[in-house]
Amino acid sequence: MTYQTLVYAVDGRVATITLDRPGRMNAINLEMPGEIADAVERANRDDAVHVIVLTGAGDGFCSGYDLKEFAEAAGERPGSQLGSAGAGDTRPWDPMADFFGMYEYTQHFMSLWRSYKPTIARVHGPAVAGGSDIALCCDLVIMAEEAVIGYPPARVWGCPTTAMWVYRLGAERAKRMLLTGDLVDGREAARLGLVLEAVPRAQLDARVAAVAARIAAVPKNQLMMQKMMVNQAYDAMGLANTQRFATLFDGITRHSPEGVWFKQRAEEVGFKQAVRERDGGAPIAPEASRSLAGWTVRKE
């Protein structure tokens, strides 16, 4: 396969997948999720490979879904991934068509989690929104202390479809992150237990290489058994059902009154300004919000 969004390379027992859209901070477009899954499958079928490292080109790991492509473009455009069937499409939003596309993306990202060979995310720069989904699907995450991670669309226009926050942090700390949409740096992420460890940026390559080399010395069958044993515990805790729930909610967040506001603002002023307004701390689209009391059905 010829990749458009990533670079795949093997050095000894280590395969490296590098997200390669540096001009857009490696933002996710329509092609990237499937290419990630293909590269993971390629590494799994290569008998020489024992461990996979995932990273990003340029200054960022991954800035999430490409809002230039998905939020700024005019029109609702429902019916596919991120509500993106085509410009000028005036059909009503189909929640199950949305789910079909986004759940497929989620499963592509989860190829990193399901991979028979261990996966390590090397996070040297921002891993935000959908980029945090990708990083947290890896078995181990090693961050630069200066890098940041978080899910700002939890404030408006998103729900993390992989739902890995709760499985890595537990309920209270996951709520802390998702009820605020805050970003935390590598030091805080490691303190919270969200990532394995954080090191100064200048030491990141050496640390990732050392961990990868340590894992790569282990027989593939041993790695596969240990990983499958741990992962089945998360399967038993309902990971798959949580992800279905989260993916359905992700579509709803993009079509709530506040989600429609965000999309309209992105079209009007550009996604960067819309994000600043969403994340600045002021009440978000209060004129768009409905009263929960107004939804109550009262019996006469």
pLDDT at 298: 52
Q: Is 208 among the domain residues?
A: yes
| Average pLDDT estimate for 262-287 | 94
Look at 161 and 81; give whichever has higher pLDDT: 161
Residue 73 pLDDT class (50, 70, 90 cuts): confident
Report the chain's mean pLDDT, rounded to a whole number: 93
The CATH number given to whatever domain includes residue 261 is: 3.90.226.10
Q: Residue 224: its pLDDT value, please?
A: 98
Q: What is the pLDDT of residue 74?
A: 74
pTM for the whole thing? 0.93
pLDDT in tens, 178-207: 999 999 999 999 999 999 999 999 999 999
| pLDDT tens-digit series, residues 219-267 | 999 999 999 999 999 999 999 999 999 999 999 999 999 999 999 999 9
115-172: pLDDT as tens digits: 999 999 999 999 999 999 999 999 999 999 999 999 999 999 999 999 999 999 999 9
Residue 1's pLDDT is what?
76
Residue 291 confidence (pLDDT): 65
Name which residue leads in pLDDT, 297 or 27: 27
Average pLDDT over residues 25-34: 97
Q: Is residue 261 part of a domain?
A: yes
**Residue 72 confidence (pLDDT):** 86
Q: How far is CA 70 from the centre of its chain?
A: 15
Residue 151 belongs to a domain: yes
Tell whether the model's pLDDT for residue 36 goes beyond 90: yes
Instruction: Name the band, by pLDDT with cuts 50, 70 and 90, for residue 89.
Output: low
Q: Which H, E and C letters describe the chain, residue by residue?
A: CCCCCEEEEEECCEEEEEECCHHHCCCECCCHHHHHHHHHHHHHCCCCCCEEEEEECCCCCECCECHHHHCCCCCCCCCCHHHCCCCCCCCCCCHHHHHHHHHHHHHHHCHHHHCCCCEEEEECCCEECHHHHHHHCCCEEEEECCCEEECHHHCCCCCCCCCHHHHHHCHHHHHHHHHHCCEEEHHHHHHHCCCCEEECHHHHHHHHHHHHHHHHCCCHHHHHHHHHHHHHHHHHCCHHHHHHHHHHHHHHHCCCHHHHHHHHHHHHHCHHHHHHHHHCCCCCCCCCCCCHHHHCCCCC
Q: Is residue 1 assigned to a domain?
A: no
Q: Considering the domain boundaries, does residue 121 fall inside one?
A: yes
pLDDT at 296 over 90: no
Within a domain: residue 300? no
Determine, yes or no, domain membership for 82.
Answer: yes
Q: By residue range, what is the domain housing residue 108?
A: 6-295
Query: Number of folded domains in the chain?
Result: 1
Model pLDDT, residue 81: 45
Does residue 230 form part of some domain? yes
